[in-house]
Structure 1
Amino acid sequence: MKPAILAASLLLLNQQISATAQETPGPAALIDALNGTFGKHAGKRASHAKGFCASGDFTPARDAAKFANSPLFSQSKVDAAIRFSIGGGNPGVSDKSRSVRGLSMRLTGGNETYDLLLISEPVFFAATPASFVSFLEARVPDPATKKPDPAKLAAHNTKYPDGKNQPALLAAHAAPASYAATPYFSTNAFVFEGTGGARQHARIVVEPAAGTRYLTEEEEKTMPDNFLEAELTQRLAAKPVEFTIYAQLPAPADSLIDSSQPWQGNGRIALGTLRVNTLAAQSCDGIVFMPVTLPAAISPSADPILAARAPAYAISLGRRSQ
């Protein structure tokens, strides 16, 4: 290759590398974007700032270990530390807000730990870290109107159409009437290794035994802004709250790396039953649920959002500990 052509090629390559680096924000940029949209709140998570904790247990399904060949799934029952939350970084947000609800849990047993981080819609609001940052920056309230600038929202949706999927789902129904009456989804895919070494991508889906119920139009108007914790307390006084945890298998066209896209799905494997027994007496804000804290039989997919989450959570913990 001639020197001039080589130099031009190297220049183009460097420009492409630089552009890629600029297009892929680091983990601190994700937390900065959350703080920029919702503000900084001492001692609170940058995302899912409003929440409370509970304790319970997880009973693996009889054949769960065949799909995920892990000591954890071979136990008769394991402990579960649980946190229910509302999406976003505002700890004072209304329980009636049309935003996602969160269910995080840490399952511990068989000398293994499994963290599951789930939301109440089957898709995430961004496919990449760049889209994540842009989505939040477009929603920073205008100082004059106290609302996001419609032009910025439109510009984001044009550049990152993946950002339209979750808001459309949230707008289609009212907020959940209970943490016990909404399904939850991992949105990220993971790789499960079963007996014999068979490997299979799957997303996690959690179905409530109580069924799904959203607030009625009248309840949206009349319910107080803080009702979810009292509602769950009342339920638990009668009996434990139960969910069934499934591994959802992908259909051939389902993306394995884009958490903003819904899955058509191709069947489910029951992994077990989560039982919520009581609300925690103390805050669990010191617990950092990490989406890549996984048992030996489960590994992360190549989803770029999944890869960005763990280091971002670590930065968020450091900031709220200051």
Structure 2
Amino acid sequence: MKPAVLAACTLMLNQLPAVAQTDAPGPAALVDALNGTFGKHAGKRASHAKGFCARGDFIPAAKAAQFAHSPFFAQSKVDALLRFSIGGGNPGVSDKSRSVRGLSMRLTGGGETYDLLLISEPVFFAATPASFVSFLEARVSDPITKKPDPAKIAAHNARYPDGKNQPALLAAHAAPASYASTPYFSTNAFVFENASGARQHARIVAEPAAGTHYLTDEEEQTMSDTFLEQELAQRLAAKPVEFTFYAQLPAPGDALNDSSQHWQGTDRVTLGTLRVTSLAGADACDGIVFMPVTLPAAVTPSDDPILRARAPAYAISLGRRSQ
């Protein structure tokens, strides 16, 4: 590993919040599970391996600073570095695959940095690191059939029912017709603090100005396996692509620390507008690790075990792909 990358990984790991010692799989086991299912691909992320970079800006809502008392939310506009991606660790996956789409971003302003990592379904596929590893191991392709063994998936679902929620949502609709016409969700909850010190759990939701659209049956048959980047470029040639960001508040009984569960809460606070203005070269973000615990002063991680495990796993993944 290059000395500069090693130093960056060490710094990231040292800055991560402490995680209680348990019998749960460690961060390296999460990366191993991804590599075991999707293979190792030199220079690529272990998860969301296929993607491209973009640039834009984020305009905080007028009252966002009342919900999250931070210099970041008091800015009139902040810079945004973005990466759109497809879930999984296969860099050659089809853009028509029925898997999640990702929107990761680094927002910088007011002397603060805010990394947001969102996916196109409101729930994650695992509630805990143990469920995460089991979910992926159950989907390793059989060497003869070249497909996952349904019996292993059924056994996983029996042991970890949380593993059924996201696949059910993905099976209910075709792939997104555009990165610009799908909503995105944090799935993990975060804790927001206002000027009075009151703290509130919330999840992040990004709604597309273009509305939500999935591929038609005909488009699934005729569209290229690499249509998404060109489709977004064509949109951006006409005007910026916009999303409105909200803090979704939980209803009574919503799980604050389980990202595999759908929230029923309908109350939400407008946080701002993301404008995607242009695509960017691969070198703009491919060397960056978007860290879900890089947060402005008024936002802290919840106790979600998946959220706590993700950041150190990303640091390990960076080190491996830089070797």
* TM-score normalised by L of structure 2: 0.93
In 2: Cα distance, 1:88 partner to 1:240 partner: 28
Partner amino acid for 2:167?
P
Give percent identity, aligned residues only: 83
Residues 292 and 310, structure 1, Cα contact 8 Å, conserved in 2 = yes
In 2: Cα distance, 1:222 partner to 1:230 partner: 15
In 2: Cα distance, 1:141 partner to 1:23 partner: 27
**Paired residues for 1:158-177 under 5 Å:** 158-177=158-177
1:58-100 deviations in Å (ceiling 9; x for gaps): 0000000000001000000000000000000000000000000
In 1: Cα distance, 2:192 partner to 2:21 partner: 31
| 2:222 maps to 1:222 | yes
SS of structure 2 residue aligned to 1:108: strand
Give the CA deviation at 1:21. 7.4
Counterpart for residue 308 of structure 1: 309
Residues 54 and 276, structure 1, Cα contact 8 Å, conserved in 2 = yes
| 2:40 maps to 1:40 | yes
**Paired residues for 1:88-167 under 5 Å:** 88-167=88-167
Counterpart for residue 64 of structure 1: 64
Residues 82 and 106, structure 2, Cα contact 8 Å, conserved in 1 = yes
In 2: Cα distance, 1:147 partner to 1:279 partner: 35
Runs of 4+ aligned structure 1 residues displaced above 6 Å come to: none
**Paired residues for 1:1-322 under 5 Å:** 23-283=23-283, 284-322=285-323
Gaps of 5+ in 1: 1-19
* TM-score normalised by L of structure 1: 0.93
Moved more, 277-286 or 258-267: 277-286
> What RMSD, in angstroms, separates the aligned Cα atoms of the two structures?
1.1
1:255-290 deviations in Å (ceiling 9; x for gaps): 000000000014110000000000013431101000
In 2: Cα distance, 1:286 partner to 1:209 partner: 30
Counterpart for residue 14 of structure 2: none
Partner amino acid for 1:124?
F
SS of structure 1 residue aligned to 2:186: strand
In 2: Cα distance, 1:21 partner to 1:137 partner: 23
SS of structure 2 residue aligned to 1:155: helix
Residues 23 and 130, structure 1, Cα contact 8 Å, conserved in 2 = no
Give the CA deviation at 1:195. 1.5
How many aligned positions are there?
Answer: 303
Gaps of 5+ in 2: 1-19
Give the CA deviation at 1:156. 0.2
In 2: Cα distance, 1:94 partner to 1:22 partner: 38
In 1: Cα distance, 2:291 partner to 2:23 partner: 24
Give the CA deviation at 1:22. 7.8
Partner amino acid for 1:311?
P
Residues 141 and 149, structure 2, Cα contact 8 Å, conserved in 1 = yes
Residues 25 and 129, structure 1, Cα contact 8 Å, conserved in 2 = yes
Give the CA deviation at 1:198. 1.0
Partner amino acid for 1:227?
F
